[in-house]
Structures are given as C-alpha cells and as structure tokens.
Structure 1
Amino acid sequence: MRCEKLKVWKRACRLSCEIYKTTSSIKDYGFRDQITRSGLSVPSNIAEGEERSGVKEQIRFLNYSQGSAAELITQLFIGIEIGYIEKQKGLELINETKEILAIVSQLSKNKKAVLKN
C-alpha cells in the first residue's frame, strides 16, 4: 500500500488508536461510536485516496479525511466539555488532530498544484 510510506497516515493511525483507548470506558455508546468512527475515518480516507489512480480522486479522499478530522476536533471539544474526556488528554488529541489536518491540507494543495501543471 502506498499510504504506508506517508508519515501523516501513520500519525493518523496512531491517533485513531489513542481515540479508542481514551474512550474505551465511556458508557455513552452513541458518543463513543461516533468519535471512534470519525477518528478511524481520518487514516482510512488517506489510505483509500492513495490507492486511487487519479489525482482528482486522491484529492477527494483527502478532503473526506479533512472533514473527518474537523468532526473529530468538534467531538473531542464536546467530550471534554461534558466530562467524558479528561481535559489535558483531550487537548493533546485535539492538537495532534489539528497537526494532522494541516499536513493533509498541504498534501491536498500539492496534489491540486499537480493538476494545474
């Protein structure tokens, strides 16, 4: 898989694992399911896009990954606010998600530049 060469994919996979670990004791299964699914979507969409042959499709899946990252950040903020996620841990996860989002955004811009040339 081409995605295995991407550091951002590896980081996003580790982030998803951390989300699962951090939320494993949350009894609100709807919340837990939603936050783990959005966390899982970040690396999954990076991977799916990297395996696509067309640059436009690759960009589309990077955009999905960006949307999932934004969703995850929102859910982490809510999880902190309602007491499901310890504040310090939640802020660390938010920071990591924002860094991953920035890298994915840059990757998407780089691919768009290839299309223009």
Structure 2
Amino acid sequence: MELVSESYKITRTFPDFEKFGLSNQMNRCAVSIPSNIAEGSSKSTDKHFNKYLENSLGSAFEWETHLTIAFNEGYLSEEKIKELEEKIKQIQKMISGFQSGLKF
C-alpha cells in the first residue's frame, strides 16, 4: 500500500501530457499489486492463490519498467529512482518468498 501512495505522489509531478499515459499505467500497476494479493487471499486453494500472486508479481515488474521509463524521460532524479527501485525489488522478493511457502 505504501508503494501505491508513493506512485500517486510521484506521478503528480509528471508532465500533464502523461496523465493518461505513463502516470495512469504506473498507478494502475501499483494498485494491482496489493489488490491481487487481497483478492487471491480469498481463494480456497493455494494453487488459485498462487495465480493471483503471479499477477501481483507481474504488476510489480511492470511498475519497475515504468519507473525506468520515467527516469529515462527525466521525470525522476537518480536519488528517487534508486529509492523506489529498492522498494519494488523488496516487494518482488516478498511476493516470491510468499509463493515459495505455498503448498500445491
């Protein structure tokens, strides 16, 4: 959830023409990460839950790609991208670790 707030915060600083482009994509990915985990937690088997964790992990990697694009376009400082890359990589590791603990 912290990443969602961070994503909305940084995309507000992007140029106006990115409102329906990169900003929208980044925020949708960020929201998708915890949303898929929440939805998957209601599933009756670990196999089904894992599918939602895979979707969440995919969104995390997609968000990381958008982050790189934002940096390459000059929307983020080097300091900010390093901070956010560390956060997203930690989330990716946590999701992968969670998947490893499932029994299916």
Q: TM (normalized to structure 2)?
A: 0.91
* Structure 1 gaps, min length 5: 1-12
> 1:96 aligns to what?
87
User: For the aligned residues, what is the CA RMSD?
Assistant: 1.0
**2:71 corresponds to:** 80
**Larger % of helix: which?**
1
The runs of at least 4 aligned residues of structure 1 exceeding 6 Å deviation read: none
Deviation at 1:46, TM superposition (A): 0.9
Is 2:33 the counterpart of 1:42?
yes
- Matching residue within 11, 15, 18 for 1:23: 11
What's the CA shift for 1:51?
1.6
Structure 2 gap segments, 5+ residues each: none
How much does 1:84 deviate?
Answer: 1.4
Deviation at 1:87, TM superposition (A): 2.2
Q: Say if 2:2 is the partner of 1:14.
A: yes
Q: CA deviation at 1:52?
A: 1.4
When the two structures are superposed, what TM-score results if normalisation uses the length of structure 1? 0.82
Deviation at 1:96, TM superposition (A): 0.4
